[in-house]
Chain A
Amino acid sequence: MKKRLIAGLLAAASLTALFAGCNGSSEGAAGGSGDTAAEGKVINIYSWNDEFRTRLEDVYPEVESTSDDGTVTYLKDGTEIHWVINPNQDGVYQQKLDEALRNQASASADDKIDIFLSETDYVYKYTDAEADVAMPLTDLGIDPDTDLADQYPFTKTTASDQNGVQRGATWQCCPGLLVYRRDIAKDVFGTDDPTAVGEKVKDWDTLKQTAEELKAKGYFTFASYADTFRLYGNNISQPWVADGETTVKVDPLIMDWIESSKEWLDAGYLDKTVKGQFNDDWNKAMGSNSKVFAFLLPPWGIDFTLAPNWDGEDGAWAVTNPPMTYNWGGSYIHACVGTDNPQHVKDIILSLTADQDNLIKISKDYQDFTNTVSGMEEAAGDDSFASSFLGGQNAYAYYAPVAEDIQIAPLSAYDQGCVELIQNSFSDYFQGNVDFDRAKENFETAIKERYPEITDVQWPE
């Protein structure tokens, strides 16, 4: 009797699973025909911090509430968003994501990844057409040409695969600026006016003279040699590794960075005690006791890094133009192939990256520079976008021209490793622990360890 009961239950369970599977796939094939009843009950989102969650809670109209620990967000129709957060550092996030992606086909409907995020540094790995893990937006029913027409073109290029098919979208652009301390500017230049300071930092040569002035008064221009990396590194003209090749080609601009970093560090324009970024020393350099004049940061850097580390009054910092236009970062939202919630996913992507009202709201609430060309142009002239942290300065007036100028560097699947390892390998050189050739060798060793398929490294003449 008992046995029969169990067998019956099992059969029933497997049948339901079968039907559930059917529903999911037919829904997927239909490309989101609008019937949410057939959607899965759980949306799994992979990310590396709560940045996306806060934006989603802020503007996605379907959000009901989020659990106190931030792991589950409940939507009005009863669907749950499960947040799977793993830190970016040491590639942990990608390891966990890759693991889940490999199991995507065999995972049960509620365990499948529905949305995952990627950063510019490794977006190419996931948008790769051959890997086919990020769904083309057209498969979701989003037409990039009309639905996303107001987005900055470079963000669309970044999220596209080698055939030009867009496989993700972002709500933010990350034009970088120079953020400086007003009190130091007053002390050294006699003025803290952003235009006047902007003139003093407009290009590398001018900035070097300014650095000398700052040094004479006992200030450092930037905290670390890593601070200037993105200006060079994100403006390279050839990809680190060309498609189908196994040779890392180091761009001449990177060599410029190495040369100037060594020079600046030895000259005392940079703080010797700060090694790299996102560590304790770097965070302290953003505090009121620090002697560091400026940082080179995109909007998220100011909101996410500078503001929390600043321990003084609001209004102590101001932004101005950087010595070189650059873009740093950007979180891309991808629909994962195999999702059982295509309708929700489409909704979320459109709501967060294409709805101008939402984007403007994100800009107001989080000072993100959002992905709407017309909206940002408006914001640049609208004083209601002034930031209280920047003492009422409207940073958008500076971001907007940079954003329009950005030429996104050609991407490769190896960007993250190259960017990380070249900085690591040469930090020994900057600090005088090894000579130039040894640092080159160390980079070659490290990059081949990280990517076994890399066969050699080509340095510019």
Chain B
Amino acid sequence: MRQKSKHIRYAKWGYLFILPFFVAFFIFSFIPLVDTVRYSFFEYYQSGIKEIGPNFVGMANYQSLLDSDMLKYAGNTLILWLIGFIPQILIALLLANWFTDIQMKIRGKQFFKVVIYLPNLIMASAFAMLFFALFSTNGPMNSILESLGLTSEPIDFMGTTFGTRALIGLMNFLMWFGNTTIMLQAAIMGISPDIFEAAELDGCGSVRRFFSITLPLIRPILTYTLITSIIGGLQMFDVPQILTNGQGNPDRTSMTLIMFLNSHLQSRNYGMAGALSVYLFIVSGILCFLVYRITNGQRDTGVKTERKHRKGGAKA
């Protein structure tokens, strides 16, 4: 009996070591999560310094959110995310492919890796403030354009929907393409060089190699990137918040869902904010599920892919 339990004792230490995480998760994530869901059924906010509620109101918060412009803000969020994500993934794929291409012999790879990652080290809000100053109507960007003779009148970048959205997209792109590049690069380097060599011997060109070997084999990592980016995109907040002063100007066209949430929190409207969070939770859940299904729907045969897949899955 004792002899047998010796085996279990090791597992006990394992559980003990992961216990702090679960305790922290339970206290700081799980309880607030349950509370958020609970408050979403209550009328609970602050008027001046007086607290109103909590009064149980059932689904009223959910209903009034549906009646509000929530779907419009969801659309805004999606557009802003796409503007940033599409160039980001394309450039990252291209760069990752170049950096890992043995034939191209790019020098100073390490240096470039550091440089493209640098924008991610700056706090998003600081980055947004920088852009706000750079692209303001009397800012340096307009001075440069004017002195180059490209424009006679200062351009009001943040006065137009297109300008504001493009700036937000540009910032998200700049901040995240380095991160994605490095991740994809790691994925490509994980592919056995034998395959590339074999392809080369068979006379496979670089384009063909990219689409037929690299892309299918890094799919798990691509999935991971897509999922994390979607979740990040849904939570897009600091960049548009700072750039538009929390207003989502012009005409609330760059108001994201979390900015909408934040404006409820100004009156500590826990009920409404909770309901919005629950919507967001459901949407992220569905999106993740969909993306995961799509990218892993039809699996290629072959041991390599399976192995890679598991690796990627574990990482995610």
Which residues of chain A have a CB within 8 Å of any CB of chain B?
A: 90-91, 95, 98, 101-102, 125-126, 128, 130-131, 133, 272-275, 279-281, 284, 413, 424, 427-428, 431, 433-434, 438, 442, 445-446, 449-453
Chain B residues whose CB sits within 8 angstroms of the CB of A101 once the complex forms: 49
Q: Does B246 contact A (CB under 8 A)?
A: yes
In the complex, what residues of B have CB within 8 A of residue A431's CB? Answer: 156, 159, 250
Within 8 A of A (CB), among B117-148: 133, 136-139
Chain A residue at minimal CB-CB distance from B260: A449
Are A442 and B252 in contact (CB-based, < 8 A)? yes
In the complex the two chains form, what is the Cα distance from A133 to B49 in whole Å? 9
* Contact B49–A453 (Cβ < 8 Å): no
224-259 of chain B: CB within 8 A of chain A = 246-247, 249-252
Bound CA span A424–B266, Å: 16
How many whole Å from B21's CB to the nearest CB in chain A?
Answer: 29
What residues on A are CB-neighbors of B264 within 8 Å?
449, 452
Cα A131 to Cα B48 in complex, Å, equals: 8
Q: Is the CB of A98 within 8 A of B46?
A: yes
| B267 interface residue per 8 A CB criterion | yes
Task: Point out residues on B near A: beta carbons under 8 Å.
Answer: 45-50, 52, 68-69, 133, 136-139, 154, 156, 159-161, 246-247, 249-252, 260, 263-264, 266-267, 269, 272
Q: Quick check: B46 and A434 within 8 Å, CB to CB? A: no
List, in ascending order, chain A residues with CB within 8 A of B269's CB. 452
Q: How far is the CA of A102 from the CA of B266 in the complex (A)?
A: 16
**Once the chains bind, are A281 and B137 in contact (CB under 8 Å)?**
yes
Pair B49/A433 contact, Cβ less than 8 Å: no
A433 and B159 in contact, given A273-B138, A424-B247, A451-B267 (Cβ under 8 angstroms): yes
A431-B159, A445-B68, A449-B266 given; 19 more Cβ-contact pairs under 8 Å: A90-B246, A90-B266, A125-B49, A128-B49, A131-B50, A275-B159, A280-B136, A281-B137, A284-B138, A424-B249, A428-B249, A431-B156, A442-B252, A449-B260, A450-B266, A450-B267, A452-B267, A452-B272, A453-B45
Minimum distance in angstroms from A112 CB to a CB of chain B: 16
- State the 10 A-B residue pairs at the shortest beta-carbon distance, nearest first: A273-B137, A433-B250, A125-B48, A413-B48, A452-B45, A449-B263, A434-B251, A131-B49, A281-B138, A428-B250
Distance A128 CA – B48 CA, assembled complex (angstroms):
9
Name 28 A/B residue pairs within 8 A (Cβ), A-sorted.
A91-B266, A101-B49, A102-B49, A125-B48, A125-B49, A128-B49, A131-B49, A272-B137, A272-B156, A273-B154, A273-B156, A275-B137, A281-B136, A424-B249, A428-B251, A431-B156, A433-B159, A433-B160, A434-B251, A438-B251, A445-B252, A449-B263, A449-B264, A449-B266, A452-B264, A452-B267, A453-B47, A453-B52
> DSSP majority for the A interface?
helix
Q: Is the CB of A445 within 8 A of B133?
A: no
Contacts of B160 in A (CB 8 A): 433
B246 surroundings in chain A (CB, below 8 A)? 90
For the complex, give the distance between the alpha carbons of A284 and B137 in Å.
11
The smallest beta-carbon distance between B161 and chain A, in angstroms, is 8
Given contacts A273-B137, A445-B68, A126 and B267 within 8 Å (CB-CB): no
A126 contacts B137, CB within 8 Å?
no
The interface centre, meaning the residue of B69, B250, B263, B272 with most chain A CB atoms within 10 A of its CB, is B250
* Residue in chain A with minimal CB distance to B253: A433
* A449 to B52 Cα, complex, angstroms: 15
The CA-CA distance from A442 to B253 in the complex, in Å, is: 11
- Chain B residues near A413 (CB, 8 Å)? 47-48
Q: How far is the CA of A273 from the CA of B138 in the complex (A)?
A: 7
B45 touching A280 by the CB < 8 A rule? Answer: no
Q: Which of A126, A434, A442, A446 contacts B49 (CB 8 A)?
A: A126
